[in-house]
Amino acid sequence: MKNIFLRVQQYSLSQKLPKIIAMAMALSVLGVIDSLLTSIVADSMTKERHDSNQELIGQGVGNMAAALIGGLPGAGATMRTVVNIKAGGTTRLSGMIHIPKAVQLALAYLQEKTPSRRRGEQPATP
């Protein structure tokens, strides 16, 4: 009986490594550009000056640490930064609150859409 499944070509690491490195470099350059542009926008709005070296080293270390535990790499978020500055956020903590708050709002929305019996509640009697 013939194998009807797709044949998977096997490559050695030496064949894949140049492509992997090229893709990783391209993504890292895009992340650097995005983060530096976000910093420039924030600097122009706050009339302050950022340290580019500190910004990029922090981003690189954070992305490598995320990769070690299966996380996704991150870069600057220009729109979130602009909204944060316009809302009056001045500390580093104000920028970090966004993700937990967004998750909380998403979970509240999903809970609202879930029927009450699935949540373990008894239906309301009229």
Q: What is the pLDDT of residues 28-52, one digit of tens each?
A: 899 899 999 989 998 999 888 988 8
- 86: exposed, middle or buried (Cβ count in 10 Å: 0-12, 13-18, 19+): exposed
pLDDT > 90: percent of the chain = 18
Of 10 and 43, the structure prediction assigns the larger pLDDT to 43
Cα of 60 vs its chain's centroid, Å: 13
What is the pTM for the complete model shown? 0.64
Buried b / exposed e along 60-78 (16+ C-beta atoms within 10 A): eeebeeeeeeeeeeebbbb
The answer to whether 62 touches 74, Cβ cutoff 8 Å, is yes
Residues 6+ apart with CB under 8 A from 78: 34, 37, 38, 41
pLDDT reported for residue 6: 59
Q: What is the mean pLDDT of residues 71-90?
A: 85
pLDDT 10s digits, 11-29: 677 788 889 899 989 988 9
